[in-house]
């Protein structure tokens, strides 16, 4: 999956959160991304876990799905891998 900074994403339930949520990628890493959770996406119990991080969470790429502004999933074309020299 080719995720990039400022992409809007959807995350199903994870080990950390029992609710799914939408957010925006703020920073990319090799296997994960920092996602800013959209307001009112998580229950009070869940937001207590992230308040000290300013609504930022680290989520694995495999747990994120790219979505558009209307919450429709965006199918991504497969990226072609380049051979190492």
Structure tokens at 8: 């809007």
d(CA 81, CA 27): 22
pLDDT average, residue stretch 3-20: 87
- Provide the pLDDT for residue 40: 77
pTM, whole model, 2 decimals?
0.75
Give domain limits for the chain.
8-66
d(CA 32, CA 20): 17
| Tens-digit pLDDT profile for residues 22-79 | 999 999 999 999 999 887 776 665 655 665 567 888 899 999 999 998 989 987 655 5
d(CA 84, CA 64): 27
Q: Return all residues near 57 (Cβ < 8 A) that are at least 6 apart.
A: 16, 17, 23, 34, 35, 37, 50
């Amino acid at each position: 999956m080719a995720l990039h900074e400022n992409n809007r994403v959807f995350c199903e339930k994870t080990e950390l959160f029992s609710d799914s949520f939408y957010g925006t990628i703020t920073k990319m890493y090799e296997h994960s991304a920092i996602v800013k959770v959209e307001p009112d996406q998580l229950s009070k119990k869940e937001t207590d876990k992230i308040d000290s991080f300013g609504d930022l969470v680290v989520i694995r790429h495999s747990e994120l799905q790219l979505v558009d502004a209307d919450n429709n999933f965006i199918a991504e074309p497969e990226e072609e891998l380049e051979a190492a020299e």
